[in-house]
Structure 1
Amino acid sequence: MHEVNLRTLDLNLLVVLQALLEARHVSHAAERLNMSQPAVSRALGRLREMFGDALLVRSPSGLVLTERARDLQQPLADALTGISRLVAEPGFDPTTATTPVRLGCLDLEAAIYLAPAVERLRRAAPGMPVEIHSHPDDYFGLLAEGRLHLAISALEPRQRQAEFHRRVIDTIWSECLMSRDNPLASGPMTLDRYLRARHGVVAITGKGPAIMDQRLEAMGRNRRVVLRLSSFFNVPDSCVGTDVVFSLPHRIASRLARDSLLVTRPLPEALQSAGFPMYLYWHSRHHGDPMHQWLRRLVMNGAADMASDPEKEHERLGGSQATP
């Protein structure tokens, strides 16, 4: 590896490189940078000479990244973020901020945990647009790439765990959601009655067994799953007027049970647990950033208010008719 003379390094080229690696198109990168296409093409030539690699090569589907370019993406993003922090003025004023805020979680988690935070953010920082990424995705990868500021999830990263920070914002347990005229809506909720029922499952990723089925398998038991959905929002229509039962995180079940035709009930005692944590995640690249610190406090305070005040949640969800 040859030694690089930083005095001869043009940092503007690194900004152009990031735009090229993200856009994978010279014209689109030029538009993003407010530069002419010939100027970006010249910069690409200098970058190829600097790195001794083509970086972007033509293919039938357009420009694609070389292996060297793919290896550069994350270090480049980290370096430019660090330089931005280095030269940025300390402190953060939400009243004048215009930086877009990018948050990630599933739709119903956004409704439960982010709605109060977004309301506060709009009041405190009216110039900051809010983008909520609610499609099922690898939120940890998006955090690592800098495409999200925060993510809410009960999952844990499978790799590069040391790069992430997290804070518990709620404790979740499961309960049953069903039509109010379902046979399980009244009478004792025994394990045998629960297992004899017809069950629905929400499989966001569409892969693998549900957590409840894994628990039952460990007990040597099983239930009859007759319906698999990919979205929580389809659950109410699947319950009303049917005998299908869903076992869901209690805040999601309460959110859906605002329909007076639905009720919630506890799981059988043998399946009840102490609950599992819901986390707010962020990447270490943003840990010391004043704007991000302010945003984290705002989201955590909003989630804490909702989690600690059932009456407030009940009121916000429209007066759920859930039963104990």
Structure 2
Amino acid sequence: MREVNLRSVDLNLLVVLLQLLETRHVTRAAEMLHMSQPAVSRALQRLRTTFDDPLLVRTTQGFDLSARAEELLPRLQQLLAGLSQLIAEPEFVPSEAKDVVRVYGLDLEVACFVSPLIQVLRREAPWMRLEVRTEPRDHFELLEQGDVHFCVTGMSPKTTEDQYRRLLIGQTTSVCVMSADHPLADSDLTLDKYLTASHGLVSITGRGPGVVDDRLAALGKKRHLALRLSNFMTVADFCEHTDLLFVLPEIVAQKVVQGRNIVLKQVPEELHSPVINFYLYWHERYHRDPMCRWIRQRILEVI
């Protein structure tokens, strides 16, 4: 078999060749291709040179296929059908899909925003699987490495933000969480009272001060930090029967206090924060993936 340099071959001619072999007629092939008859005739001459074969041969009944063309036709039909499927956008059918959807978020962020998704999957895509990761770590590193499809967080990437897409899925403000038996539970929480207390902090990375500490530093003040946690789920256990205060997003705090001897208080006016936004993030690599597009739409609808 002679070696062929594909770079020297005009692959567009294969589309013309298929019409010529199927119609066995230059004029009808030209009509099907919306080309002029001379252009198709020129293409046929180039094809004959490329394949070193007449391809279409004259008979008393008109053109017929050469032996090489007879062998080429089914292979060409299969090849071009495969190329069409390769280029066409894949179809996503939820009821038949067996994809694995991988999501990362902290425990209570997942409880607030991701748990409703499993109801949708069980109803509309029962063969799909949802894998949720909640271990404390860098959210955006997982997206960057392709380990997860989505990340739910109120944080923002510190670098290369242009490679991420996001969807706003929730908004909340901050509140102070404390035991209902705390001495400050029955009064308005002023900054001076707040600073007399001991505090707990939820730190995802385990490093650096919290947002509240940054605000206090700007005011020239500092709080006593007695406890640092890496997730929200255990906050209630650490403040229900102690004198510790936590500042949490209200939507998360509402989950924490359910059934516990805990109250929510407005944070001191000096520590009021703007609205906290929660986003669903995904990497650019998955932006046009049909499965991920469907998941994003369903999350938006259920949230």
Instruction: Settle same-fold status: TM greater than 0.5.
Output: yes
Q: Indicate yes or no: 2:249 matched with 1:272.
A: no
Cα distance, 1:231–1:289 mapped onto 2, change above 3 Å: closer
After superposition, the CA RMSD in angstroms is 2.0
Mapping of 1:166-315 within 5 angstroms?
Answer: 166-303=166-303
Alpha-carbon distance, 1:88 to partner: 6.5
Deviation at 1:172, TM superposition (A): 2.8
Q: Distance in 1 between matches of 2:88 and 2:278?
A: 33
Q: Does 1:146 align with 2:125?
A: no
Distance 2:232 2:218 in 1: 26
Matched, 1:124 2:136: no
**Partner-residue secondary structure (3-state), 2:127:** coil
Give yes or no for contact 1:121–1:298 (8 Å, CA) kept in 2: no
Matches within 5 A, 1:98-137: 98-137=98-137
Q: Secondary structure at the match of 1:242?
A: coil
Distance across 1 between alignment mates of 2:159 and 2:220: 32
What is the TM-score with the length of structure 1 in the denominator?
0.65
- The equivalent residue for 1:90 is 90
**In structure 2, distance between residues paired with 1:168 and 1:89:** 27
Cα distance in 1 for residues equivalent to 2:273 and 2:267: 9
Q: Does 1:163 align with 2:163?
A: yes
Distance 2:89 2:279 in 1: 30
Encode CA deviations 1:182-233: one digit per residue, 9 max, x unaligned: 1121112111111111111122211001110011101111111122222322
Counterpart position of 2:44 = none
Deviation at 1:284, TM superposition (A): 1.3
Percentage of matched positions with identical amino acids: 42
Query: In the alignment, residue 298 of structure 1 is paired with which amino acid?
Result: R
Q: For 2:127 and 2:88, locate their aligned partners in 1 and report how far apart those are by CA, in whole Å.
A: 19
SS of equivalent residue, structure 2 residue 235: helix
- Work out whether residues 113 and 302 of structure 1, in 8 Å CA contact, stay in contact via their aligned partners in 2: no
Mind listing any 5+ residue stretches in structure 2 that lack a counterpart?
8-82
Does structure 1 retain, via aligned residues, the 8 Å contact 2:240–2:260?
Answer: no
What amino acid is aligned across from residue 217 of structure 1 in structure 2? A
1:262 Cα deviation (Å)? 1.0
Residues 176 and 248, structure 2, Cα contact 8 Å, conserved in 1:
yes
User: How many residues were matched structurally?
Assistant: 223
Higher Cα Rg, which structure: 2
Please give the TM-score of this superposition, normalised by the length of structure 2.
0.69
Q: Do the aligned partners of residues 165 and 253 (structure 1) sit closer, same or farther apart at CA in structure 2, a change above 3 Å counting? A: same
Tell whether the 8 Å contact from 2:106 to 2:231 is kept in structure 1 after alignment.
Answer: no
Gaps of 5+ in 1: 8-82, 304-324
Q: Deviations over 1:235-264 (max 9, x none)?
A: 112112221111111111111110331111
